[in-house]
Amino acid sequence: MNNFLPICKEDLEKLNISQLDFVYVVGDAYVDHPSFGCAIISRVLESAGYTVGIIAQPDWRDTVDFKKLGKPRLAFLVSAGNIDSMVNHYTVAKKIRTDDSYSPGGKAGYRPDRATIVYCNRIREAYGDVPIVIGGVEASLRRFAHYDYWDNKVRRSILFDSRSNLLLYGMGEHQIVEVADKLNSGLKINEITDVLGSAYISKKIPEGATVIPDFESVRENKKEYAVACKMQYEQSTVLVQKHIDKYLVVNMPSPPLTESELDKVYSLPYTRNYHPIYEKDGGIPAIKEVKFSITSSRGCFGACNFCAIAFHQGRKVTSRSHKSILKEAEMLTYDEDFKGYINDVGGPTANFRNGPCSKDTPCTNRQCLYPNPCKNLKIDHSDYLSLMRKLRSISGIKKVFIRSGIRYDYLIHDKNDEFFKELCMHHVSGQLKVAPEHVSDNVLSLMGKPSKDVYNRFVDKYKRINEKLGKKQYIVPYLMSSHPGSTINDAIILAEYLRDNNINPQQVQDFYPTPGTISTCMYYTGINPRNMEKVYVPTDYNEKQMQRALLQYKNPANYNLVYKALVLAGREDLIGYGKKCLIRPKGENRNGKDFRRESSIPKNKERIKGRSSKSKGKRR
């Protein structure tokens, strides 16, 4: 039976450990499963011969919890967890969330805002000048000076505010072992400056480095911020960003793990469950979806502008071997809770197994799928198809689902339909979730997504294949409101598409300006950093509410907002009794229910961009 890593002094005594090499402080509850970054990094260190202890969700109000495993021999490791702590705590409307799937019983309140910074400063209080290495999503995406949505200002690199010594960005396995070996050899933490995928603070600019706009410039000048963002995404050398009188140095990314390295990482002795201490609280909800899911790949060359995966994991996709994945699947069948269903086999994008092409490094001057697939892009599902067939044949497995996302604009360009057919036949549970995000080409172009025609082709083909198979299966589209570039008219275009296709989305997502994305740069600066063109950004709360309501115009609770939006946009033609109308005139909705509430329409219709037919579809 696999054992959890030590979490208290009693565990250390049982293991006869007088001093740990590393103490890992993390904002998530301790779940020893390879879907959790803390589990992977700690097990990788263990496999390299180092001892690691876990302090999960310590009480940050004092230093007591930070001392419970003692001072580590080499360094403290700190991560906010699988999600940025601010995203974890707040909705896009900046309201406090009441739940946290990474905490005991799913309850919120077990970690502080800006957990990485708070934890590091508590460690400094407890142990003074001890080496601290930060990593994980929060640190990785905040490695440069960055716009912070919650403060509504540009914050400096998290290295400075955390007072940590070294930042490891990306997935971290290569970096953490290299850093551990250097520390173990006697190097001081401030002497470790050459690790790929790391960042540190220096008093001088390294030779051959590229200087990007400094912290003060990007804080005061939005154009400079956009320039810096573009340079970060196109990094081809060491990048340096001055912060007052010191320099942030960000080394080149670490190369992705090879197939054999990935296989090794996922074969480590995880317990594959949450620690027993959480049983009394009802466990950790986040384990439910991933416990019987399999990670098959990393990286994403889709590189949507609103997504930070490419900035974190990279655009180069690497995958585990069939042998490794099949071994894990067979292991799942012996779990007493396994009912025969594998929830997912995928990664950031399920149907990306390799690629994008034969180049070692993806191009910096173009996207692989947008606006059209690159001529060098390898579009081939044969390996993934072969893997899924093998998984289906394992004794004890009834069904293998694909839920981590199918990239429809990749699948539709595959000339071989075999995978598409078997996807519909074997791997969909009645509904296939895909992410067109929008249908207005104006908005899609700023998202880095293909035109709606590509999505329509996919939908039509999905329907035809299911009809031939005699299956009644549907597509559930993920949709986003208020993305940079989206006007009220763009939201109306999407509402009309939903009307024409009889789609009534139960959930929609407002654009969330999270750290490290191209779209967040657009939101803050009003500039598209890829071409430096101006972008209209819906920031007014009322307008954002209207854009969201239009996506769910059938909901009676949204009537006043939809009415207001249509009047402001000069689209009263959509208020009436015709088949093309979205809502009834005031006093009656589609179901004949009475609407007596007054709608507060601003007298100045010009307040909202995109109100007239002249501006319809126009980029601002």
- 492-519: average pLDDT: 95
H helices of 320-399, in order, are 322-332, 382-392
Is residue 262 a contact partner of residue 17, using CB atoms and an 8 Å limit? no
Q: For residue 471, what is the enclosing H or E element? A: none
Q: What is the pLDDT of residue 365?
A: 77
Q: How far apart are alpha carbons 506 and 503 in whole angstroms?
A: 9
Beta carbons within 10 angstroms of residue 71's beta carbon? 15
Report residue 262 as tokens: 């990935």
- 70-98: average pLDDT: 97
Q: For residue 267, what is the enclosing H or E element? A: none
CA 587 to chain centre: 43
Q: For residue 200, what is the enclosing H or E element? A: strand 198-202
Is residue 213 a contact partner of residue 243, using CB atoms and an 8 Å limit? no
Q: What is the dihedral of CA 307, 161, 224, 299, to 10 degrees?
A: -20
* Residue 303's pLDDT band (cuts 50, 70, 90): confident
- Rg over alpha carbons for the chain, rounded to the nearest Å, is 25
H helices of 80-157, in order, are 85-89, 115-127, 136-141
- Identity (one letter) of the amino acid at 172? G
| Residue pointed to by tokens 């961009």 | 609
End-to-end CA distance of the chain: 60
Q: What is the pLDDT of residue 588?
A: 61
* Residue 595's pLDDT band (cuts 50, 70, 90): very low
Alpha-carbon distances, residue 170 vs 78, 140, 254, 315, 535 (angstroms) = 14, 6, 8, 11, 29
Q: How far apart are alpha carbons 98 and 84 in whole angstroms?
A: 16
- 295-320: average pLDDT: 94
Of the candidate ranges 405-409, 457-461, 466-470, the one whose mean pLDDT is the lowest: 405-409
| Residue pointed to by tokens 């609103």 | 306
For 196, half-sphere exposure in the C-beta direction (CA atoms, 13 angstrom radius) is 12
Q: Which residue has the higher pLDDT, 405 or 597?
A: 405
Q: What is the pLDDT of residue 600?
A: 41
Torsion angles phi and psi, residue 373, rounded to 5: -60, 135
3-state secondary structure of 293: strand
pLDDT tens-digit map of 374-419: 999 999 999 999 999 999 999 999 999 998 889 999 999 999 999 9
Q: What is the pLDDT of residue 181?
A: 98
Q: How far apart are alpha carbons 577 and 410 in whole angstroms?
A: 40
Q: How far apart are alpha carbons 424 and 246 in whole angstroms?
A: 56
Closest-CA residue to 293 (of 351, 350, 336)? 350
Domains of the chain: 9-201+244-250 (3.40.50.2300), 292-425 (3.30.750.210), 430-620 (3.30.750.200)
Q: How far apart are alpha carbons 120 and 125 in whole angstroms?
A: 9
pLDDT tens-digit map of 226-269: 999 999 999 999 999 999 999 999 999 999 999 999 999 999 99
pLDDT tens-digit map of 309-336: 999 999 999 999 999 999 999 999 999 9
143-147-150 Cα angle (round to 5): 110
Is residue 135 a contact partner of residue 79, using CB atoms and an 8 Å limit? yes
Report residue 526 as tokens: 């009003």
Q: What is the pLDDT of residue 591?
A: 52
Is residue 142 a contact partner of residue 207, using CB atoms and an 8 Å limit? no
- 133-141: average pLDDT: 98
Q: How far apart are alpha carbons 36 and 527 in whole angstroms?
A: 35
Residue 604 has pLDDT above 70, yes or no: no
Q: What percent of the chain has pLDDT over 90?
A: 90
Closest-CA residue to 224 (of 233, 214, 238, 234)? 214
3-state secondary structure of 250: strand
- 281-310: average pLDDT: 95
Is residue 351 a contact partner of residue 407, using CB atoms and an 8 Å limit? yes
Residue 12 has pLDDT above 90, yes or no: yes
- 146-164: average pLDDT: 98
Q: How far apart are alpha carbons 425 and 433 in whole angstroms?
A: 15
- 444-454: average pLDDT: 96
Q: How far apart are alpha carbons 467 and 113 in whole angstroms?
A: 50
pLDDT tens-digit map of 173-223: 999 999 999 999 999 999 999 999 999 999 999 999 999 999 999 999 999
Q: For residue 605, what is the enclosing H or E element? A: none
pLDDT tens-digit map of 19-55: 999 999 999 999 999 999 999 999 999 999 999 999 9
Q: Which residue has the higher pLDDT, 318 or 617?
A: 318
**Non-local CB neighbours of 55 within 8 Å, separated by 6+ positions:** 7, 23, 24, 25, 26, 65, 66, 68, 69
DSSP strand pairing (52-56 vs 22-26): parallel
Report residue 238 as tokens: 């060491």
Can you list the positions of beta strands (E) in 482-526? 509-510
Is residue 479 a contact partner of residue 438, using CB atoms and an 8 Å limit? yes
Q: How far apart are alpha carbons 115 and 59 in whole angstroms?
A: 11
* Residue length of the chain: 620
- 526-542: average pLDDT: 97
Q: What is the pLDDT of residue 587?
A: 75
Q: Which residue has the higher pLDDT, 250 or 358?
A: 250
Q: Which residue has the higher pLDDT, 359 or 41?
A: 41
Can you list the positions of beta strands (E) in 252-319? 273-274, 293-295, 297-298, 318-319
Question: What is the pLDDT of the chain when averaged over all its residues?
Answer: 93
Is residue 138 a contact partner of residue 102, using CB atoms and an 8 Å limit? no
Q: Which one-letter DSSP state was computed for residue 573?
A: G
